[in-house]
Amino acid sequence: MSKLRMMGAVARKEPQMSGKSSFVFSGVGRWAGILAVLGALALTGCAAPTVSARVTSFQQWPTGVEGQTYQFVPADPSQINNLEYQSFQDMVRAGIGATGLVEATSGAKGRFDVSFRYGTTQTQVMVRRPYDPFFYGGYGGFYGPRPWGMGAGYWGPDWVDVPMVVQRNSLSVFIRDTQKGGAEVYRSTAFILSERDDFIRTMPYLVRAIFDNFPGNNGAEREIQFPVQ
């Protein structure tokens, strides 16, 4: 099992989605390819697989607004009449119940404007892998007897850190209060790292992370783990 060690920036690509399944299939299931930032994905031989999201939130949430109404507002013109955006909007709508807000009826103006942005970019991480002399051209022998302490014994493989390109899947949600001149009262961004481009499968977990323990502390950054479903 590779161990995530650190992150580094590489060339980014424009946000894109893929309808093709690209998560790695393994003994623990189709989601085994999801990585979590700073090594937070817990996939082991005996533990249930989990998905980990990194969340940063800022809020000045008003009191006594339960039952108030909201409407979705596109974050940019490209989201208008966009079927992909409408599909993700349904996911955000399902998660926004944690705020206590209710969607305004068609034609009515709600108090809060809700918008969101999403996408995937490439980044690079360092992963720790067992040293393979046949792949890296090193010394002969992988496992075997090696000097250890006062006598000889069997020792496991050496480990090396190697770079790996992964996908950074992100969702940002913004809520503005029209009764306060459109002031932003909630902003949250969550991201999950995955080995391959499969944003659609990460989106439900990103939505859950955004509204988990809403509204949370202002300026809070935390890591949330969810069991794979």
DSSP letters along 34-67, please? Answer: EE-GGG-----SSSPPEEEEEEEEEE-PPSS-TT
Q: Around Cβ 159, how many Cβ atoms within 10 Å?
A: 12
Flag whether pLDDT at 223 surpasses 80: yes
Residues 172-203: pLDDT tens digits?
A: 999 999 999 999 999 999 999 988 888 999 99
Q: Who wins on pLDDT, 51 or 25?
A: 51
Record the tokens describing residue 62, joined without a space. Answer: 């008003």
- Band of residue 161 on the pLDDT scale cut at 50, 70, 90: confident
Q: What pLDDT shows up at residue 195? A: 87
Q: What pLDDT shows up at residue 96? A: 95
Flag whether pLDDT at 27 surpasses 60: no
**Entry pTM:** 0.70
DSSP letters along the chain, please? Answer: --EEEEEE-----------S--PPPBTTBGGGGEE-GGG-----SSSPPEEEEEEEEEE-PPSS-TT-EEEE--SSGGGTT-HHHHHHHHHHHHHGGGGT-EEPPTTPPPSEEEEEEEEEEEEEEEEEEE--HHHHT--S-SSEEEEETTEEEEE---EEEEEEEEEEEEEEEEEEEGGGTTEEEEEEEEEEEESS--HHHHHHHHHHHHHTTTT--TTEEEEEEEE--
Residues 81-133: pLDDT tens digits?
A: 999 999 999 999 999 999 999 999 988 999 999 999 999 999 888 888 787 66
